[in-house]
Amino acid sequence: MNQKTLSSLAPLLAFVASPAPWAAQPPDTATYNYYVAPHGSDSNPGTAQSPFQTILRASRVALPGTTVHVAPGTYVGGFKTTMSGTEHQRISYVSTRRWGARLVPPSYSETKAGWDNRGSYVDIVGFEIDGREARNGIKWTHGIYNGGSFSVIRNNLVHHIALDSPCTGAGGAGIGVDSYYRGIKSDVIGNTVHHIGKPGCRFVQGIYISTSGSARFNLVHHIGGAGIQMWHDANNVVVSNNTVAASTTGILVGGGDFYHTKGPNDFTTVYNNIVYDNKYGISEQGSTGLNNTYRNNLVYLSSVADWQLRNGLTHTGTIARAPQFLKYDKTGQLDFRLRGDSPAIGKGVDEQAMALEAAARQRNTRPDIGAYPFK
């Protein structure tokens, strides 16, 4: 991508806030700690004083209970992490400053993902995956790909992935949680994902889930296909408090082309989301069940259809009004925080004991809709 193109995209990169209230760095309770910094060396011991240079090197010595602390700087992406933690001793890769550790394509890419994680009980927290500077080799079609189980992908910034790739059934996603390697139940929380796939390319998604798990408090916009999509073996997925805009489909609940199950996508709950200015709003496609629920979502300004539900299902508590973002120019400046007159404030459904909802109960108010609680 040339400098002129990058300059023309600059207005679209103006974000003054990030979704979700979770801190980028968890408490330092790890059994083992390793450190990575741009000035380090992979022949170092990986201590704070003598850090590794690459995340891949740190991953190869990570045992259950390890936190890998990654200092701000630019790192070459296109690697695979395979080590697994356990339920009580996870492996955490943490950018010590949110979005400070930035992954970019190598000079010659041999992989299709910026970060390919196959380990289970793994946290990937606070990184930037920037696909703008693609050079030679395989083009990235995935920002973060997760094939493991019980992983958490949290507070990352993933952008400009698969913009120059052919629009084929091979697909792609900013963040993908996949069941192909029998991964189950992973969570995608508090991420910002934008400019993924060519406009109108339905095969490339912002957040893609093909198993059980959740997508919560994410900001997703300017996606070729669906902002958030479920397919293959997806079921029992919680999709809540996301903001999705300027994409072909806002939220697509579907199943089909099954890997390890017979479907359908059932018992998926979709609530407290803002789905605004897409071609389609919230849509069911493929094999879906009778027990999916849709409550208290703001769905508005879909150019073709706000809702497409199957099996006689209906949605409840829907708000069909503009969300009143602080600033929304589809081709310019964006600020997805809510104005004081937003109809999304205090209109969410109070389900599950998540942090923001617990705080809302303490205030004796209902939670807000969307990725950004009003402050």
Any domain includes 263: yes
Any domain includes 191: yes
342: left (phi over 0), alpha (psi -120 to 50) or beta: beta
- CA–CA gap between residue 12 and residue 5 (Å, rounded): 12
Portion of the chain with pLDDT greater than 70, in percent: 89
pLDDT above 50 for 9: no
E strand or H helix at 362, and its extent? Answer: helix 355-362
- Report pLDDT digits (tens) over 277-289: 999 999 999 999 9
What does the DSSP assignment read for 213-267?
EEEES-EEEEESSEEEEE-BT--SEEEES-EEESSSEEEEEEEBS-SS----B-S
How many domains, the chain? 1
E strand or H helix at 117, and its extent? Answer: strand 113-117
- CA–CA gap between residue 163 and residue 4 (Å, rounded): 16
- CA–CA gap between residue 16 and residue 105 (Å, rounded): 26
pLDDT attached to residue 17: 63
Each residue of 154-177: b (16+ CB within 10 Å) or e? bbbbbbbbbbebebeeebbbbbbb
Residue 113's closest CA among 167, 174, 46?
Answer: 174
pLDDT above 80 for 13: no
Per-residue pLDDT averaged across 225-245, rounded? Answer: 98
What domain range includes position 197?
3-342
- Report pLDDT digits (tens) over 160-213: 999 988 899 889 999 999 999 999 999 999 999 999 999 999 999 999 999 999
pLDDT above 90 for 365: no
Any domain includes 120: yes
- CA–CA gap between residue 135 and residue 103 (Å, rounded): 14
**Max mean pLDDT range (30-34, 61-65, 364-368):** 61-65
pLDDT attached to residue 366: 85
- CA–CA gap between residue 194 and residue 162 (Å, rounded): 11
What is the average pLDDT score of the chain?
A: 91
| 161: helix, strand or coil | strand
* Cβ contact 121:85 at 8 Å: yes
| Six-digit token string for 114 | 């910026």
Name the DSSP letter for residue 12.
G
Name the DSSP letter for residue 339.
P
CATH assignment of the domain containing 34: 2.160.20.10
Q: Which of 74-78, 121-125, 137-141, 189-193 has the lowest mean pLDDT?
A: 137-141
Any domain includes 115: yes
What does the DSSP assignment read for 276-326?
ES-SEEEEEEESB-S--EEES-EEE--SSEEEE--TT---BS-B-S---EE
Residue 345's closest CA among 329, 315, 328, 321?
Answer: 321
- Report pLDDT digits (tens) over 82-111: 999 999 999 999 999 999 999 999 999 999
- Report pLDDT digits (tens) over 297-354: 999 999 999 999 999 999 999 999 999 999 999 999 999 999 999 999 999 998 754 4
| Six-digit token string for 124 | 């990937």
pLDDT attached to residue 357: 47
Pairing of the two strands 192-196 and 157-161: parallel
205 Cβ neighbours under 8 A, 6+ residues apart: 171, 172, 173, 174, 176, 196, 197, 223, 225, 226, 227, 228, 229, 252
Any domain includes 106: yes
Portion of the chain with pLDDT greater than 90, in percent: 84
Per-residue pLDDT averaged across 58-78, rounded? Answer: 97
- CA–CA gap between residue 279 and residue 140 (Å, rounded): 26
List, in sequence order, every residue forming a beta bridge with 101; answer none if it has no partner. 73
Q: Is the dihedral of CA 224, 225, 227, 232 positive or negative?
A: negative
Residue 287's closest CA among 250, 258, 316?
Answer: 258
Any domain includes 255: yes
Per-residue pLDDT averaged across 35-55, rounded? Answer: 98
- CA–CA gap between residue 227 and residue 288 (Å, rounded): 19
